[in-house]
Structure 1
Amino acid sequence: MSNRSKGWGIAVAACVGIWLVQNGSENVTPPVPSAAQAFAAGPNAHTTAAADPLAPSAPVRLRIPEIDVDTPMVGLGLGPDGALEVPPAENGNLAGWYEGGTAPGAEGTAIVAGHVDNKRGPAVFYALGALKKGNRIEVDRQDGRTAVFTIDAVEVYPNKAFPDAKVYGRADRAELRVITCGGGFTEKNGYQGNVVAFGHLIGVR
């Protein structure tokens, strides 16, 4: 599937749950974020503290300690259909970022995508839905600096009701979105939605 915003789109491939289908594991699906991890009715962020944005620099590695993610990063472009390309499915431990948009740590909304599974089993963002507000995401950059993000919310959206503006919309600080497939799963149609972790920059090392 693809979701478009302001002339560009994003697609997370391998949403059919190949590993789940092969193993007859419809009941062994990735974690789904709880309602407590969604945006509150009041202020959107659990903290208003934010670090000043950095100058643009390409990311080289991403870490999410709480779910044991430590992955190299690859730049992603757009395919012929205007949807974001995805990392090679055969490499389960690889995340990609939209290099035609904002670099993580720079002002704006940076987009990161990765597979939830492949034919060998769970992939890099399989446990994304288990994250909680206040967990950290660290992004090493080519300039030698590490951008540290705090998670403001983790939400799941059905494919047919993906909120483009909310996920991809312009930000006046350094924000991050990490996206993978998720939601309900059926053997016939695969994953029925996307899990999105929302974060903003709170520190630099």
Structure 2
Amino acid sequence: MSRTPPSLWRAALPVLACLALTGCSSDASHTDASSSSAPGSHNSPKDTGSKGTEKRETSGKPKSAASPTHVSIPSIGVNSSLMRLGLNEDGTVQVPPAEKGMTAGWYTGGAVPGERGAAVLIGHNDTRFGRAVFHDLKKIGKGADIAIRNDRGAELHFRVTGTETVSKKAFPTKRVYGATNERVLRLITCDGSFDAQGHPVDNLIVYAARS
């Protein structure tokens, strides 16, 4: 999502050596994709204390849970299918490839939307191909509806509770990926000005709870 693929995700996960969430591309692929929890050197979601994450990354979800397939945010015109995102070999969170900039992704190492825990969706702000799926995410307001449809045909609704822009060098990993008994959703993309290399220096995080 950022003009330079690799740096966006460096801000998200501690262990991810340099990713800044959605908006740019993952350092591993050097494409314009965003890498969700990776903007800076932080710990990866599996280091935030939730046991069983590695198993979920293999299967992508608990066997009994339905997988999210689509997200819509009427207030800002988002209407996208969801691709599955895991971890790169270097431990950073994957992001959608630049050529699929208008498609958001669900991080399978987190919770399934609607289940207890933090479910994380990642999307680019823009890529070398132009504006992307979360380009207008900064316009979302508190109370806005986010609808997630799963592969069983059910539609789940979440209400935005807040947003924050953070430096990729100080990404709030625990707040975003940490364990919780609530059914919550986080959306992440790139934000802010660009550094000398043309990489966005911040991440925009949207927090939402099951309505």
Calculate the TM-score normalised by the size of structure 1: 0.73
Partner of 1:57: 66
The 5 Å alignment of 1:126-205 reads 126-186=135-195, 188-202=197-211
In the alignment, which residue of structure 1 is the partner of 2:133?
Answer: 124
Q: How does 1:10-159 map to 2 (within 5 A)?
A: 11-12=20-21, 14-15=23-24, 56-159=65-168
Distance 2:150 2:88 in 1: 25
- Tell me if the contact between 2:20 and 2:203 (Cα under 8 Å) persists in the aligned partners: no
Alignment partner, residue 48 of structure 1: none
- SS of 1:15's equivalent? coil
- TM-score normalised by length of structure 2: 0.71
Q: Which structure has the highest strand share of the two?
A: 1
| Matched-pair contact (CA < 8 Å) for 2:12–2:21 | no
Q: Which amino acid aligns with 2:144?
A: N
RMSD: 2.1
Secondary structure of the corresponding residue to residue 90 of structure 1:
helix
Counterpart secondary structure, 1:100? coil
**Deviation at residue 189 of structure 1 after TM alignment:** 3.3
1:66 is paired with a residue whose SS is helix
**Matched residue type, 1:148:** H
**As a proportion of its length, which structure holds more helix?**
2
Q: CA deviation at 1:186?
A: 4.3
Is the radius of gyration larger for structure 1 or structure 2? 1
Deviation, structure 1 residue 173: 1.5
Distance, in Å, in 2 between the alignment partners of 1:135 and 1:14 is 22
Q: CA separation in 1, counterparts of 2:110 and 2:90?
A: 17
Contact 1:56-1:102 at 8 Å conserved across structures: no
Change over 3 Å in CA distance of 1:59–1:8 after alignment to 2: farther
Q: CA deviation at 1:128?
A: 0.7
Aligned residues of 2:22 and 2:203 also touching (Cα < 8 A): no
Unpaired runs of 5+ residues, structure 2, are: 1-9, 26-63
| 8 Å CA contact retained: 1:140, 1:147 | yes
Taking the aligned partners of 1:59 and 1:153, their CA distance within structure 2 comes to 22
